[in-house]
Amino acid sequence: MLINTNKLINSPQINQIVYYQPPRTLKHKDKKPYPVIINKGCYLSNDKISNFWEWQRITPSGRFRETGCGYGKFTIATGYEIQRKIIIKNNKS
């Protein structure tokens, strides 16, 4: 079971599941943190704070949903194991 520890993390690793806290603005319909898997990004870039990330939202059962990006405010998630699988099919015409 996926659990939000509420412990802040500045620099999550690629393929790590964390909870993303959306900004509390009117344009964001989500106000509560939700789980995402980190695809790309960094906290520091050229010795300056960047904190820009790309992620994919996941359901509590582990299914992938839409992608997103933005400035991160993440908390650590526990209770998961990562297994990404890629299947390449040979489509001969």
Domain that holds residue 39: 3-78
Residue 16 within any structural domain of the chain: yes
Of the candidates 22, 41, 35, the one whose C-alpha atom is nearest the C-alpha of residue 63 is 35
Of residues 35 and 84, more confidence is placed in 35
Q: How far apart (Å, rounded) are the C-alpha atoms in residues 3 and 41?
A: 23
Q: Provide mean pLDDT across the span 65-87.
A: 87
Local confidence band at 19 (pLDDT 50, 70, 90 cut-offs):
very high
Taking only the tens place, the pLDDT of each residue in 50-74 is 889 999 999 877 888 899 998 889 9
> For the chain, how many structural domains are there in total?
1
Residue 85 within any structural domain of the chain: no
Of the candidates 59, 88, 86, 76, the one whose C-alpha atom is nearest the C-alpha of residue 3 is 76
Most confidently predicted of 15-19, 22-26, 41-45, 88-92: 15-19
Residue 35 within any structural domain of the chain: yes
Taking only the tens place, the pLDDT of each residue in 23-44 is 876 565 667 899 999 999 988 8
